[in-house]
Amino acid sequence: MNAANATVGELAAYVDESQRGVPPVIRRRPPRELAERLGLARWIREGGMTADDHAEFLRVYLAEGTRLHHPAYLGHQVAVPDFPAALADLVHGVSNNPMAIYEMGASAATVEFEVLRWMLATVGFGEAGGGVLTHGGSLANLTALLAARASVAPDAWTDGVPGDLALLVPASTHYSLTRAAAILGLGERAVMPLDVDGLGRIDVARLPETLERVRRAGRRPMALVANACATGTGLYDDLRGVGGFCAANGIWFHVDGAHGASALLSQGHRHLLDGIELADSLIWDAHKMLRTSSLAAAVLTRREGDLDAAFRQKASYLFYGEQGFDLIGRTVECSKAELGLKIFLNLAWRGERGLGEYVARRYATAHRLWELATRRPGFTCPYEPESNIVCFRYGTGDQAAVRERLMEDGSFQLTSTEIGGVRHLRAVVMAPATDDKTLEALLDRVAEPDGRVHGGTVPG
């Protein structure tokens, strides 16, 4: 109990000082030095940690990590967890009900089932749809493509993969999809690029030509993938346009909504996902914009039987039965964490409306960053952001060096991405603590001359 109380106390202080932006957002101490500082070898060898040692260890451990609650955390699309989801992790950590089979966690399985029904209804798949939660979007994409493969080549599970399948993706697609093509046995060469505009969005008007090209190459589309939204730019593909084309041509339509499907909860943004109900399969990460810890991702299919077919040929639909139901037939994983509880508790505390407001505010803050940057001399922004991901350049020099400068002193965590072959800085607004003051400070800091020596100050 003492250790548990100490843990909660340390975590509360950590979140509080992070939110106030007191310490650096990131520290990059070399691993050898860090192992020493944390006393890792000694603890492993000798054991005997007490509640006080535990608190002391945790303090250093947290301080040396990356602070996602910090206003200057603008790096990756990883959720700033809300406390109900964090409590779910604690409950799972203690009760450990790996509920892929009902008898190993009736409550956990039922919670997942209801969370999936909520997601299916939100997407517009309704009662006919099927779903399962997996440990992350990459595994979710793999699972969805397995369902696509089962639909297009039902004998692949027993006989192996036909050599003529193709996966059609925009080049901006997440690497987990091209990787999935290789894992599924299609081979990387089966991944064929769709024509895109200058920002990497699918060019709907040119889809017929692409299909012609694929057919001339002697290939059959296994699936066509659209981004909602793209990892690099945060821009959404035209789901209605792409979905309509797929439906007309009998092509499996997969939507990668890992990051951006949560915009369905914001009245002001759900139009970005117009046409999502045309998808045959969709993935949706809760550990990005629904504020759960990593990992909790949903695979959703428009027809429930398609998901069951992913891992075997006969469909077995899930019902509330007398003996419960087993989700194990739908996942790569055997045992599985209580993923549904994290999403459920965030919903139960914040409501659909609260989560939608969270999304809307982050999207608005990113838009604000774009407004501020476009007004300042020296900054160029290649597009108006649609989500909480913003790309920009400062000057014409090495953008990676700018990022390195900010990360070096821990003032900001940023990422970078290439757009049309040109490297851009990339900010992802995740933390509720990020406000206008943060954004102005970021732009000031980016525009500061290298090493600050030009301003006459002595570099510290």
Ligand X SMILES: *Cc1c(COP(=O)(O)O)cnc(C)c1O
Binding site for ligand X (CB under 6 A): 77, 136-138, 141, 174, 176, 227, 231, 256, 258-259, 285, 295, 297
CB of 300 to ligand X, least distance (A): 14
- Tokens 């843990």 sit on residue: 7
DSSP code, position 202:
B
The smaller minimum CB distance to ligand X, of residues 141 and 151, is found at 141
Q: Which structure tokens are listed for 282? A: 């969709």
Which of 275, 284, 278, 233 is CA-nearest to residue 256? Answer: 284
CB of 143 to ligand X, least distance (A): 12
The smaller minimum CB distance to ligand X, of residues 192 and 258, is found at 258
- Strand order through the sheet with 220-227: 130-134, 297-301, 281-285, 253-256, 220-227, 165-169, 191-193
CB of 297 to ligand X, least distance (A): 5
- Tokens 């759900």 sit on residue: 270
Which residues make Cβ contacts (< 8 Å) with residue 381, sequence separation at least 6? Answer: 370, 373, 374, 390, 391, 392
What is the C-alpha to C-alpha distance for residues 135 and 342, in angstroms, rounded to an integer? 12
The smaller minimum CB distance to ligand X, of residues 166 and 286, is found at 286
CB of 343 to ligand X, least distance (A): 14
The smaller minimum CB distance to ligand X, of residues 176 and 416, is found at 176
Q: Which residue type occupies 251?
A: I
CB of 370 to ligand X, least distance (A): 19
The smaller minimum CB distance to ligand X, of residues 286 and 402, is found at 286
CB of 29 to ligand X, least distance (A): 25
The smaller minimum CB distance to ligand X, of residues 76 and 405, is found at 76
Could you tell me if 111 and 372 are in contact, meaning their C-beta atoms sit under 8 angstroms apart? no
CB of 21 to ligand X, least distance (A): 26
The smaller minimum CB distance to ligand X, of residues 402 and 427, is found at 427
What is the C-alpha to C-alpha distance for residues 67 and 62, in angstroms, rounded to an integer? 8
What is the C-alpha to C-alpha distance for residues 287 and 24, in angstroms, rounded to an integer? 23
CB of 64 to ligand X, least distance (A): 23
∠ CA 220-225-226, rounded to 5°: 145
The smaller minimum CB distance to ligand X, of residues 144 and 156, is found at 144
Q: Residue 336: is it exposed, middle or buried by C-beta count within 10 angstroms (0-12/13-18/19+)? A: buried
Q: Residue 160: is it exposed, middle or buried by C-beta count within 10 angstroms (0-12/13-18/19+)? A: exposed
